[in-house]
């Protein structure tokens, strides 16, 4: 059963109540980690401000946890009760099924043009922009400055240096010299960062899955033999270590290094951990690209509210509102105007995000424009940890995942 962190409620109350009113229904994900900073408060304030200027429109928002929100939207769409808008993690299935408005049917030209180009391109399905970027993040290598100083080491720039640093941290008794979360919570993210660091990825340049490429096999063989096999990843097997647990351990001062995204900044600061951030090391130098993750805003066609949806979303994507959301939750702005404002800001909340913003122009996204990606991501979450287990076979696991990806892609194409 889907359990909502936030029950459906009409946010705000400004505006007329005549029969000509339009009510827009939005389902959104909760980026907060407590009731005090729940996304319900952000959307409530935004809806109030919009309704005050547009008395003929009401905005009704339901906020759900990330564990539930995608399933909730699917349930609504499958039952014939699609919301007008959904702010979730995937879109390709809905675009392929003809459920969504193209971006050009809702947003003003100015708002469309303001999206960071590579984020907007990732929202294309069949060469048409359907999904609007809503929030973004990249990954960098976090390291504990205190532990590094005690071990007399400097942040790594190559895999060899990373392994050497991990050895030094282990010798000093650090619990997790390098935390490698390949558990089911977010293994697809950690995996992609390592595939990029090794020089490849989930797909080739034309979008064909290449999970079992020789380069990817070498990457996971190195992880298995040079990190995990040498006891440099801590007491919990990577396949059972989830991202949230790894972040919590870093905030508790038990981790020397790990790949992290912007939300780890506040988590570590709250615990008083002194940390640094550097680009993730590659095989022989800086990684080919950082991993970028984008969350999406979708506009559903079912209720026919294209004009009202566009008006509200133009407001949502105004620079002030984009910056407010990004600063509140430690995420990267998805519009060029807000990104430039943040990169030029020396505000305490903005400076730590500059390292992530610097990577955004070249960051690579999941293959989210493939309708098969959801199935492939689920398979990676389930199986990739076995690739680095003591009796695991990196090549064998990657081959199985490639077969699953090829089958999922074939099924998706036949249904399309």
Q: Do 268 and 171 share a structural domain?
A: yes
The burial class, CB within 10 Å (0-12 / 13-18 / 19+), for 98 is: exposed
The reported pTM is 0.83
Q: Do 144 and 252 share a structural domain?
A: yes
CATH code for the domain of 23: 3.40.190.10
Q: Quick one: pLDDT at residue 353? A: 93
Q: Do 155 and 25 share a structural domain?
A: no
Q: Do 395 and 284 share a structural domain?
A: yes
83 assigned to some structural domain: yes
120 assigned to some structural domain: yes
Write down the mean pLDDT value for the chain. 91
Q: Do 146 and 260 share a structural domain?
A: yes
Least confident of 204-208, 232-236, 402-406, 408-412: 408-412
Q: Which of 307, 381, 334 has its CA nearest to residue 131? A: 334
Give how many domains the chain has, as a whole number. Answer: 2
| Chain centroid offset of residue 272 CA | 25
Q: Which of 204, 198, 192, 138 has its CA nearest to residue 362? A: 138
Q: Are strands 57-64 and 9-10 parallel, antiparallel or unpaired?
A: antiparallel
Least confident of 32-41, 81-90, 315-324, 325-334: 32-41
Q: Do 43 and 105 share a structural domain?
A: yes
Residue 314 CA to residue 111 CA, distance in Å, equals 6
Number of C-beta neighbours around residue 126 at 10 A: 10
User: Are 140 and 277 a contacting pair, CB within 8 Å?
Assistant: yes
2 assigned to some structural domain: no
4 assigned to some structural domain: no
**61-90 per-position pLDDT tens digit:** 999 988 789 889 999 999 999 999 999 988
- Domain hosting residue 61, numbered range: 9-137+293-365
The set of residues, in sequence order, having a beta carbon less than 8 Å from that of 240 and lying 6+ positions away, is 183, 385
3 assigned to some structural domain: no
389 assigned to some structural domain: yes
* Coil, strand or helix at 178: strand
Q: Which H or E element spans position 62?
A: strand 57-64
Flag whether pLDDT at 246 surpasses 80.
yes
Q: Quick one: pLDDT at residue 16? A: 33
Q: Do 238 and 386 share a structural domain?
A: yes
The set of residues, in sequence order, having a beta carbon less than 8 Å from that of 205 and lying 6+ positions away, is none
Q: Do 381 and 252 share a structural domain?
A: yes
Q: Do 329 and 215 share a structural domain?
A: no
Q: Do 117 and 153 share a structural domain?
A: no
Q: Do 313 and 198 share a structural domain?
A: no
Q: Do 34 and 115 share a structural domain?
A: yes
**100-157 per-position pLDDT tens digit:** 999 999 999 999 999 999 899 999 999 999 999 999 999 999 999 999 999 999 999 9
Q: Which of 129, 108, 107 has its CA nearest to residue 118? A: 129
400 assigned to some structural domain: yes
> Where a domain ends, among 323, 341, 365?
365
pLDDT average, residue stretch 260-270: 91
Residue 288 CA to residue 60 CA, distance in Å, equals 43
In this structure, what DSSP letter does residue 224 have? Answer: I
> Where a domain ends, among 346, 365, 384?
365
């Amino acid at each position: 059963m889907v359990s909502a962190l936030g029950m459906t409620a009409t946010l705000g109350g400004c505006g007329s109540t005549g029969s000509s009113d339009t009510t827009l229904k939005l389902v959104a994900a909760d980026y907060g980690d407590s009731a005090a900073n729940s996304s319900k408060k952000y959307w409530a304030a935004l809806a109030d401000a919009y309704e005050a200027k547009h008395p003929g429109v009401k905005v009704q928002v339901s906020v759900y946890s990330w564990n539930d929100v995608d399933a909730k939207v699917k349930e609504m769409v499958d039952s014939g009760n699609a919301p007008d808008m959904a702010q979730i993690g995937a879109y390709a299935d809905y675009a392929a099924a003809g459920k969504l408005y193209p971006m050009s049917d809702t947003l003003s030209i100015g708002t469309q043009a303001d999206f960071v180009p590579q984020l907007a391109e990732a929202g294309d399905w069949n060469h048409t922009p359907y999904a609007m970027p809503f929030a973004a993040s990249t990954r960098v290598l976090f390291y504990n400055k205190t532990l590094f100083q005690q071990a007399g080491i400097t942040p790594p720039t190559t895999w060899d240096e990373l392994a050497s640093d991990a050895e030094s941290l282990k010798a000093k008794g650090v619990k997790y010299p390098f935390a490698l979360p390949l558990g089911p919570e977010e293994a697809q993210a950690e995996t992609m960062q390592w595939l990029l660091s090794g020089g490849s990825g989930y797909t080739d340049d034309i979008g064909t899955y290449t999970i079992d490429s020789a380069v990817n096999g070498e990457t996971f063989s190195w992880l298995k033999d040079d990190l995990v096999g040498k006891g440099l990843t801590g007491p919990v097997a990577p396949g059972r270590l989830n991202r949230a647990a790894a972040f919590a351990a870093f905030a508790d001062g038990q981790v020397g290094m790990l790949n992290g995204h912007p939300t780890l900044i506040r988590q570590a600061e709250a615990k008083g951990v002194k940390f640094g951030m550097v680009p993730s090391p590659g095989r022989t130098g800086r990684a080919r690209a950082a991993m970028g993750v984008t969350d999406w805003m979708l506009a559903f066609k079912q209720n026919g509210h294209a004009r009202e949806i566009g008006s509200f979303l133009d407001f949502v994507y105004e620079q002030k509102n984009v910056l407010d959301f990004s600063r509140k939750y430690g995420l990267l702005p998805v519009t060029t105007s807000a990104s430039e404002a943040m990169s030029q800001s020396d505000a305490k909340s903005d400076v730590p995000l500059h390292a992530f913003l610097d990577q955004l122009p070249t960051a690579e996204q999941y293959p989210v424009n493939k309708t098969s990606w959801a199935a492939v991501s689920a398979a990676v979450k389930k199986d990739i940890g076995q690739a680095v287990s003591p009796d695991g076979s990196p090549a064998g696991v990657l081959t199985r995942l490639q077969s699953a990806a090829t089958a999922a892609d074939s099924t998706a194409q036949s249904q399309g």
